[in-house]
């Protein structure tokens, strides 16, 4: 397996980021919901109460490290950045290293900005992320049960200080075959996730330095294309 310098292969790296980020809104919803099913050591009602309490704030933010393994090319891309979420369905992914780019949505429109190329892709958020309900889905775990089989991950995936869950879609999907979620036993923060697709690609995301609050400005989730940027409509059908 090769570790790729993203700067030398921007198109491949960006493609892996796009495929991963297209599911991020869904993934956040899933791991919020998924944590409600965690742990044989705690009753379901206790898990539900603790997770809902942890994520009841109107917004949160965190640092992240993302590793994307592309099976066809046998390479691993690594990127770091910061993510913001605000109820009900706004988010901003700021990739900082090794290249700057943004994925921003106000819940209606999604913008993807590649700074190095001064290029902005845009389209309908529902077509890009799917029919998710943002952070408000936290209050309705039935939405997760409807679409996924949720259970504790096999023993070899478990960690001493985390609950690790396995989610498998009930219907066959082209973008997701299974998802593992790591949840802190101490804080009930979402420590990380591992996402697989049917092609053997794997995306791992680790989260740190969570901040929760009430006052994040909604303007953070609207993107104004820079002057002279190339504007490219996304095919979200």
232 located within any domain: no
Q: Which two tokens stand for residue 17?
A: 């980021």
Distance between CA atoms of residues 33 and 121, nearest Å: 30
Report which of 86, 126, 87, 119 is spatially closest to residue 102, judged by C-alpha positions.
Answer: 119
Contact between 113 and 68 (Cβ < 8 Å) = no
Q: Which two tokens stand for residue 216?
A: 């994040």
224 located within any domain: no
How much is the pLDDT for 28?
Answer: 55
Report which of 179, 192, 202, 195 is spatially closest to residue 74, judged by C-alpha positions.
Answer: 202
Range of the domain at 130: 2-211
The residues, any chain, with a CB within 8 Å of residue 198's CB and separated by 6 or more, are 173, 174, 177
How much is the pLDDT for 140?
Answer: 46
7 located within any domain: yes
Cα angle for residues 73, 74, 79 (degrees, 5° grid): 95
220 located within any domain: no
- As beta bridge partners, residue 119 has 114, 230
Contact between 33 and 138 (Cβ < 8 Å) = yes
76 located within any domain: yes
How much is the pLDDT for 137?
Answer: 42
How much is the pLDDT for 30?
Answer: 47
- Which helix (H) or strand (E) is 53 found in, with range? helix 44-54
Please state the domain count of the chain: 1
48 located within any domain: yes
Residues of the chain with pLDDT under 70: 1-52, 55, 130-145, 214, 236-237
CATH number, position 113: 2.50.20.10
pTM value > 0.85 = no
How much is the pLDDT for 51?
Answer: 64
228 located within any domain: no
- Give backbone dihedrals phi and psi of 121, rounded to 5 degrees, phi first: -100, 145
Average pLDDT, the chain: 77
- Give backbone dihedrals phi and psi of 206, rounded to 5 degrees, phi first: -115, 135
């Amino acid at each position: 397996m090769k570790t790729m310098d993203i700067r030398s292969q921007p198109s491949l790296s960006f493609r892996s980021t796009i495929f991963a980020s297209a599911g991020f809104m869904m993934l956040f919803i899933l791991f919020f919901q998924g944590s409600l099913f965690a742990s044989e050591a705690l009753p379901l009602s206790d898990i539900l109460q603790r997770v809902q309490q942890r994520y009841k704030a109107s917004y949160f933010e965190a640092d992240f490290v993302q590793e994307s393994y592309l099976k066809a090319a046998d390479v691993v891309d690594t990127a770091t950045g910061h993510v913001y979420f605000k109820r009900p369905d706004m988010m901003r992914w700021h990739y900082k290293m090794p290249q700057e780019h943004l994925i921003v949505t106000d819940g209606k429109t999604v913008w993807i900005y590649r700074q190095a190329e001064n290029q902005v892709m845009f389209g309908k958020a529902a077509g890009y992320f799917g029919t998710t309900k943002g952070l408000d889905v936290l209050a309705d775990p039935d939405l997760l049960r409807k679409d996924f089989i949720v259970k504790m991950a096999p023993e070899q995936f478990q960690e001493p200080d985390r609950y690790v869950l396995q989610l498998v879609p009930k219907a066959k999907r082209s973008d997701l075959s299974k998802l593992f979620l790591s949840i802190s036993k101490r804080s009930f923060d979402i420590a990380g996730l591992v996402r697989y697709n049917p092609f053997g690609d794997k995306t791992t995301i680790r989260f740190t330095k969570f901040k929760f609050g009430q006052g994040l400005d909604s303007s953070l989730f609207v993107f104004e294309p820079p002057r002279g940027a190339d504007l490219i409509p996304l095919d979200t059908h």
